[in-house]
Structure 1
Amino acid sequence: MKKDNMEKNLKAKFEKYDNMSFQFAEENPYDVMNIGEEKATHKHNFRQEDGQPGDLAHFNTSCLPLKKISYIFLVIALVFALVTLTALLYLEKNREEDQHHQPVFQEKQRKWTGSMGCTFLVSFLQSHISVNNSNRTIIVTSDTDFNITVSLSEKQSPNLISISNQIIGNIMIKKINVHPLMVPSYSSVEDKAILIKTSSISSVLSMNDLEFTSESNTVFPVDKLSTYYIISMTTPLDGLIDSGSHVTVASVMDNTCVSISLVIDRDAKVQHNGSSYGNGDKITIILDSFQTFQIGLRADLSGTTINASHPVAVFAGNRCNNLGDYGFCNMLVEMVPPDDKLDKIFIVPPNVHRYKTQVRIASPIETEIKYSIEREKTSVVVTRNQTIDFFIQENETAVIESIEPLLVNSFAYGSTQPLIFGDPYMITIPGINQYINEYILFVPENFNFSFATFMLKTDSLEHLKINETGIKENQTRYFSTVAVGTSFYSVWTLSIPSGVMKVRTTDGTPFGVIVYGQRKRDGHGYTGNAILSTCKDGWIHIENSCYLISLQRVTFKDALKSCNEETAHLSEHRNIRIERLIGLQLHAQGDVGVWIAATYVQEEGEYLYISDASRVNKNNWANGQPHGGKHYNCAVARKDDNWKWYAYPCRHTFHYVCKKPI
């Protein structure tokens, strides 16, 4: 009964806001721009709450001399003019601040999905000993002109990177050349991560374009990173120099605790700080921002898991491995998508010019997996952190379906072409729910053959456009159709030129794409996207919910209304880990504060959450908060105090976050 009464009180409280006349007299109208300072309140005797002594409505002027009345009204007129001028200045300043704090992705919000973004964290893996001292390249592309900021740890020289610009058609390209000193060494905490920020939505490709051992991988934006990962790679070939497996973890935030739970396929040990760690052991380290930790071992580390206290970027693969009877050793690298961004249904295409493709499935939890190759179907139950393999031939396509999310990688075996003998390469296969409807794809030069394979619904084939043109018949190298549930998907492999491509569907149908290249004693491959995009454009997917960070500052009442119009609710920030992830995004945008869905209820004498009228955790508040004050009835998390909560008048304007469970 008490809870029902509290909910009624909350409802009545917000109904009161509709008719409430807020007062400039409460405080300096500019204090929202100076929230780091303590605010003083100034009451004017001639204006208080309606119906209270001192209100102009109850001020009897008939008993005063006319001269005094004139003075009074003169003072009132002057005060009114000052208040009006102050209000106009406040609105103008607030407008300028809003423009200053607009997120850099506002213009291109339609593409805020999948692997595109504005902030990226990159690191590299060791490669074959003969080329490990060669430079690496990061390619950043966008279909609008953009600025870029590349940051290293203060402990690293800025001379370790250089940036060059290029334009192909209407695509802007910025290439970041990275010195080999930025490649992490094994079993050491080092300051070797690279932070990239762009002023418009961009795609980022990390490229190890080295002689005879190239590889490429899509880099996922920081807001898509998470804290749980499962690792997949190939089993190193016995007796092959530098054939080991390795994993790199790069930290986004300071004081990040990282636990690496090892799964090792043989009697081998990881050495760290004078200790040996084998199968089933756990390595725990603390990383600050820009720091990396890389492990390497001549064994298969597939099934190894990463668990971190804050979001991290994870890269994994083989230093150099040889697959099959053709070709030579090649490095195999992919950025690992986090567990909470994995999918359950996959279409796995073959690799043109490769007689066989190995498909490896890694499962973070126990589940049943069904996969079909042409008309042959197989069902298997896998345990937690287990991996399974199967193979497809050059003219076969596989379909994988699972009850729980999976990580799926394909590994192209050596080439059957007599003049190529191309080396293997690694690709993360996108799930059908990870498909998006627009990509910018970079195609490296100096490869004899380059291909793009598209997986899309058959009835949307005619809507697929490359650089706004249709597909030429002589580009086709492979085509097949597979059934997924009640839908039919086409798998279409095209020969493509080097350079850059903007690929989209004119009807907006999502599709998947992988890109790969082949040359003598070499090969590379990457995915267009392997991040689950269950949230609509502009929303961020964290765990089981979608979050929308507002582009403008609004009042508390308008924040509630805006979230309601999105069929969502104003975020209450009860989960500390998620609050930190959202705070990271707000910090990147330069926001000063964000509304919290909690308000002061006078009848209860304390702050309550709006959703269920439960009491707010006192640990959320900053020191001395919430302070008293008649009109300080709404809660704001402030950037300048590590997102601690402060009491504010509800009429003030701040950014807000909407939350919508998936």
Structure 2
Amino acid sequence: MDLHRGTVRRNLPIVLLLLGLLGASQAQRHFITAFMEVPGNPTLQLYLVTYGEAAMVNVTVSAPSFHQSVSVGRDSTALVSLGQPYMISSNQISSKVVSVTSDADISLIAFHTDDATADAMAVLPVEDLDTEYFIFTSGSGEPNQFAVANGIYPTVLVTVTVSGSITYNGVQYGHGSAFSFSLGYQQVIQLQSRTDLTGTRVVATSPVAVFSGNQCFRGINTACDVLLEQMHPVRNWGTFFPVFPLATHTNDIIDVMAANPDTIVIVVTSQQSTQYHLQPGSHERLTLDRAALVHSSEPVMISYLFRERKNGKYDPFVTSVPPVPNTRKYYKFVTQSFYDNFLLVVSQAASPSEFYLDHQPLSSFPLNHMEINGFRAWEASLGKIDGQHEIYHSSSPFTIYVYGLENVISYGYSMGQETTYPGPSITSPTEEPERLTSPTEEPERLTSPTEEPERSTSPTEEPESPQELHCFSDGAEFHLPLRLVSEAKINVLNVHLQDPQCRGLQEGNTIILNIPFNRCGSNVHIKDGKTVYTNTIYGTVPGTSIHRIEVPVKCEMDMNETLGLSFHPKVTDVVSQSHYNVSMRFYQTDEFTDLITTFPHEVDLHGSLHLQLKVESDDTNLQILVEQCKASPSLEETEKGYSIIQHGCPLDSTLQNHPVPDQRMKQYSFHVFKFNPFQEVYLFCNVIICHNQTAPNRCTQGCITRRYRRDVSSAKLGSAQLSQGPIVLKSGAQLPNSQAGGSVPSMVLVAVIVAMAFLSAMGLMIQRRYYRRPGDSQPLISSY
């Protein structure tokens, strides 16, 4: 490898156990993409690829208005095309986000095509989007560009820290400078420059999609070709990459970029090992002349620029290099018959005969083989073939590159870096998975819960446990009887979740499977106002794709119930709203690091209270809204109370919202107060939990004034009620007489006694001013 250095830069939960034969899948039902600027008269082609279920897919654009509903049969592909009016132009914000939603798991492959140029990408589902990205472009002197798209949230604030130079709103921003802008729902911005933008950092307050490329790249002996790729967020980067040249090239480019300080990168080939030190946004641009392994001390991103011409006159494209390890063993992909199409498979599998491409051993295709340090790549020639393809391996994870070459035009994309993806529904033609029956059906292998088991248990045997599913805040636990595994003639090690690396453990006559909601193939979606987490338990015949046990499981989180709770005042309490745990805690300072754990807690009357409310869940798509907070002199809510927050609106003039990046958390500070003649204060708060997939929802509404409250009540959104305290005043603290006998807080001081009529008129003016200023709610929601 020639190493050329480039530019350095609980109530009882609602639990459902679905018994029956369902296809394996993970959440991949919502996508957002953008039609970036391409010379000529291009077309955006969206291939909708289904798996084991038919799907109804909706493709929409806000402006110009576009909506198309497509019914796609199972294991099929449909094509939706968008013309030039939906392409983004220049450096501008538009409402041209392309939103794709489906009622079943699909993959989305996007082709940007013109008569003489093309490129393609596997579009990421919204579950794989995040808030921090770095940009890769192909070099200086070219019309480089990137786009940021918001297709999920009402408003997102985006900050761009420039590497290179960008002109935005008539102002030129040089290297290291930053600027910000807001994107509304379904809005996208495109930014262009003739400088190399590699290393530009994009940070958003909520997950967005980011795309990058070049309008008119001039490669080796090529004139003007489009390059397009969707950027992966920093959280999905990796530390170990096997990299193989495509089409036996020796002059393509890989670009290694860091996000963290003092990142050490080691590039190993069959001839040498080279070490690099990178800082955030800096990168190494290397010429790839042979297979290589890239190791890094911190996560990095690797982009692959296919630029060399060999054995024909084809054009460049750009794609991403997926890291390992990954868990994906099954892919569906799309090719176009206009091109000579190729598939590169990267794996640690021993032989190509272990892979099945379109139901044929991969070894039956013309292959080119490469290998380095236990990693192997097989490049298969598919020919001029159109439509959907599938490839799978029974046990070894792998990544793929799909590309097509033709005279003065080409495309390419990779798959394997995404963390959520549909799974296979593959069975042997002669063998069906064991179907677990519901209690109302005639059993095949299982007995109904109301029937006696066929075999008895001896006095010395441990009794068999029934099938049970227990749902908790961050995951579930399923109990599978060992007898089922024995009857299916498989081993305990062959019982696993959607991700085969997540296996069960035997305890007596039961197999315990722990099911985290944020990994192991768990899927999340919204149904009837509930957040629903699903996964599937398999018993798989070793070395095959045959499932003899298949148990889909589901946990539903009901967000519409109100919990009335009492709390012992000496501890910090956590309460369960269905499966969600919501914590309410006091802290000593607004740093929110020194937790108060002992109550009663003494404070000075002139001090402040620091309150944190949080949904204790690993699901980052959850949001919390503080609907109401009210203080009371006792644990019982009485008329002698004082509202600090009501309908999501701040009522206390000293209330300060501390913005945090985690939308599952709210942090506030407010001045201490008391009720005469009481020395203790308790705080009651009602919170609402929402999921991003339901946006717009009550959480995104924020403060609701009087004129809109009827709509809120009709939504029947419930809340969890939490209380904490008591807070007591330190000895000797005095309260002004203006507080006596009332619920007005002590921070409202009356220095001079004036006429009661004047006080009444002032109160009316303050109240009218409050209701005329809906912007008063902004501190509660502006950071989300």
- TM-score class, shorter-chain normalisation, is 0.5 to 0.7
> 1:547-569, CA deviations, whole angstroms, 9 ceiling, x for partnerless residues?
xxxxxxxxx99546963666578
> 1:513-569, CA deviations, whole angstroms, 9 ceiling, x for partnerless residues?
0111111111110011323579999xxxxxxxxxxxxxxxxxx99546963666578
2:627 touches 2:687 (CA, 8 Å); kept in 1? no
Q: What secondary structure, in the 3-state scheme, does the structure 2 residue paired with 1:602 have?
A: coil
Match of 1:481 in 2: 371
| Cα gap change, 1:311 to 1:601, in 2 (>3 Å) | same
Cα deviation, residue 149, structure 1:
1.2
| Cα gap change, 1:557 to 1:369, in 2 (>3 Å) | closer
Q: Choose the corresponding residue for 1:275, options 168, 171, 178.
A: 171
Q: Choose the corresponding residue for 1:409, options 303, 310, 313.
A: 303
Q: Matches of 1:333 and 1:561 in 2, distance apart?
A: 37
Paired residues for 1:108-147 under 5 Å: 108=23, 110-112=24-26, 117-128=28-39, 131=40, 133-143=41-51, 144-147=53-56
Q: What secondary structure, in the 3-state scheme, does the structure 1 residue paired with 2:160 have?
A: strand
Cα deviation, residue 163, structure 1:
6.8
Q: Are residue 311 (structure 1) and residue 384 (structure 2) matched?
A: no
2:627 touches 2:688 (CA, 8 Å); kept in 1? no
- TM-score when normalising by structure 1: 0.66
| Cα gap change, 1:628 to 1:214, in 2 (>3 Å) | farther
Cα deviation, residue 641, structure 1:
2.8
Q: What secondary structure, in the 3-state scheme, does the structure 1 residue paired with 2:362 have?
A: coil
Match of 1:182 in 2: 86
Cα deviation, residue 625, structure 1:
7.6
| Cα gap change, 1:301 to 1:637, in 2 (>3 Å) | same
1:559 touches 1:570 (CA, 8 Å); kept in 2? no
Q: Choose the corresponding residue for 1:364, options 259, 275, 281.
A: 259
Cα deviation, residue 603, structure 1:
2.3
Q: What secondary structure, in the 3-state scheme, does the structure 1 residue paired with 2:104 have?
A: strand
Match of 1:148 in 2: 57
Q: Matches of 2:346 and 2:213 in 1, distance apart?
A: 25
Q: Are residue 514 (structure 1) and residue 401 (structure 2) matched?
A: yes
Q: Are residue 637 (structure 1) and residue 689 (structure 2) matched?
A: yes
1:139 touches 1:175 (CA, 8 Å); kept in 2? yes
Cα deviation, residue 278, structure 1:
1.7
> 1:356-408, CA deviations, whole angstroms, 9 ceiling, x for partnerless residues?
21111111123000112223211111121101111123xx2111111111111
Match of 2:234 in 1: 339
Please tell me the residue identity of whatever aligns with 1:245: N
> 1:400-421, CA deviations, whole angstroms, 9 ceiling, x for partnerless residues?
111111111111123222xx31
Match of 1:27 in 2: none
Please tell me the residue identity of whatever aligns with 1:427: T
Percent identity, aligned pairs only, is 15
Match of 1:546 in 2: none
Match of 2:362 in 1: 471
Q: Choose the corresponding residue for 1:647, options 702, 706, 720.
A: 720
Q: Matches of 1:302 and 1:414 in 2, distance apart?
A: 21
Q: Are residue 563 (structure 1) and residue 479 (structure 2) matched?
A: no
Q: Are residue 491 (structure 1) and residue 564 (structure 2) matched?
A: no
Q: Matches of 2:55 and 2:402 in 1, distance apart?
A: 25
Cα deviation, residue 289, structure 1:
1.3
Please tell me the residue identity of whatever aligns with 1:279: H
| Cα gap change, 1:530 to 1:557, in 2 (>3 Å) | closer
**Greater strand fraction, Structure 1 or Structure 2:** 2
1:357 touches 1:412 (CA, 8 Å); kept in 2? yes
> 1:71-126, CA deviations, whole angstroms, 9 ceiling, x for partnerless residues?
xxxxxxxxxxxxxxxxxxxxxxx99xx89xx9xxx954x3317xxx1000010211
Q: Are residue 201 (structure 1) and residue 97 (structure 2) matched?
A: no
Q: Matches of 2:517 and 2:48 in 1, distance apart?
A: 35
Q: Matches of 2:197 and 2:474 in 1, distance apart?
A: 50
Paired residues for 1:562-601 under 5 Å: 563=476, 567=514, 590-591=529-530, 593-594=558-559, 600-601=565-566
Q: Are residue 257 (structure 1) and residue 160 (structure 2) matched?
A: no
> 1:17-51, CA deviations, whole angstroms, 9 ceiling, x for partnerless residues?
99xxxxxxxxxxxxx9xxxxxxxxxxxxxxxxxxx
Match of 1:505 in 2: 392
Match of 2:122 in 1: 218
Cα deviation, residue 502, structure 1:
4.1
Q: Choose the corresponding residue for 1:397, options 279, 283, 291.
A: 291
Q: What secondary structure, in the 3-state scheme, does the structure 1 residue paired with 2:64 have?
A: coil
1:162 touches 1:177 (CA, 8 Å); kept in 2? no
Unmatched segments (≥5 aa) in structure 1: 1-13, 19-31, 33-93, 538-555, 572-581, 650-662
Tell me the matched-pair count. 491
Please tell me the residue identity of whatever aligns with 2:94: E
Q: Are residue 293 (structure 1) and residue 193 (structure 2) matched?
A: no
Q: Matches of 2:415 and 2:517 in 1, distance apart?
A: 33
> 1:120-153, CA deviations, whole angstroms, 9 ceiling, x for partnerless residues?
001021112xx1x332111110123211012222
Q: Matches of 1:598 and 1:416 in 2, distance apart?
A: 68
Q: What secondary structure, in the 3-state scheme, does the structure 1 residue paired with 2:476 have?
A: helix
Cα deviation, residue 508, structure 1:
2.9
1:600 touches 1:607 (CA, 8 Å); kept in 2? no
Q: Matches of 1:119 and 1:139 in 2, distance apart?
A: 14
2:628 touches 2:685 (CA, 8 Å); kept in 1? no
Q: Matches of 2:416 and 2:123 in 1, distance apart?
A: 9
Q: Matches of 2:472 and 2:396 in 1, distance apart?
A: 32
Unmatched segments (≥5 aa) in structure 2: 1-9, 425-468, 479-512, 532-557, 576-580, 587-610, 614-624, 638-683, 692-696, 701-716, 723-784
**Greater helix fraction, Structure 1 or Structure 2:** 1
- Quote the RMSD (CA, aligned, Å): 4.0
1:440 touches 1:503 (CA, 8 Å); kept in 2? yes
Paired residues for 1:40-51 under 5 Å: none
| Cα gap change, 1:480 to 1:625, in 2 (>3 Å) | farther
Match of 1:454 in 2: 345
Match of 2:411 in 1: 524
Match of 2:627 in 1: 622
| Cα gap change, 1:399 to 1:436, in 2 (>3 Å) | same
Match of 2:324 in 1: 432
1:248 touches 1:294 (CA, 8 Å); kept in 2? yes
Please tell me the residue identity of whatever aligns with 2:178: K
| Cα gap change, 1:589 to 1:182, in 2 (>3 Å) | farther
Please tell me the residue identity of whatever aligns with 1:641: R
| Cα gap change, 1:118 to 1:588, in 2 (>3 Å) | farther
Match of 1:602 in 2: 567
> 1:141-187, CA deviations, whole angstroms, 9 ceiling, x for partnerless residues?
0123211012222x4322xx6577787xx631121111211111222
Please tell me the residue identity of whatever aligns with 2:698: D
